[in-house]
Amino acid sequence: MYSRIKRSLLVTLLLASTATVAQEPTPAFLQPEVLRAAMAINLTDEQEPLFRDAITTFAQARIDSLGKLMRGHNRTGVERRWKSKTRSFLKEMDETLRPVLTDEQWPAYENYRETLKANLRGF
């Protein structure tokens, strides 16, 4: 029953995110294919908060990194350096989630990570 509630919540988020597409760009984390990939991991109730924390940490680190790069005096190669930082943050997310996810969940997580990466702006 709890997973049915989670699924209906994600469907609602999917519908809400597609309804606002005309207004502003949807963040990569809310793209329908990224949400589908996240659902395919089949996280347990214990894994969900750890996964959410890892994703939040990744997103915040990426935002902070861009801010630092834009404030810096050397603005040449900002896009290249931001891509490099993003790859580094993705590796950190892998290291955080590797002990949390099972061997059966890992391929679905890798698919999620690649789907997320493909939907990130500036990457």
Q: Higher model confidence: residue 45 or residue 77?
A: 45
pLDDT in tens, 26-65: 778 788 999 999 999 999 999 999 999 999 999 899 888 8
The pLDDT, as a whole number, for residue 98 is 96
pTM, rounded to two decimals: 0.73
Q: Please report where in the chains the tokens 């698919």 appear, as a residue.
A: 111
What average pLDDT does the segment 71-100 reach?
Answer: 85
**Does 10 have pLDDT greater than 70?**
no
Could you tell me which of 63, 57, 78 has the C-alpha nearest to residue 27? 63
Q: How confident is the model at residue 2 (pLDDT cuts 50, 70, 90)?
A: low
Gap between the Cα atoms of 9 and 51, Å rounded? 17
The pLDDT, as a whole number, for residue 43 is 94
Gap between the Cα atoms of 43 and 46, Å rounded? 8
Q: How confident is the model at residue 78 (pLDDT cuts 50, 70, 90)?
A: confident
Domain ranges in the chain are: 29-119
Q: Higher model confidence: residue 83 or residue 97?
A: 97
What does 79-106 look like in DSSP terms, one character per residue?
HHHHHHHHHHHHHHHHHHHTTTS-TTTH
| Most confidently modeled range among 7-16, 46-55, 82-91 | 46-55
**Cα atoms found within 13 Å of the Cα of residue 62, Cβ hemisphere only:** 25
- The residues near 60 (Cβ < 8 Å, ≥ 6 apart) are none
Coil, strand, or helix at residue 3? helix
**Does 92 have pLDDT greater than 60?**
yes
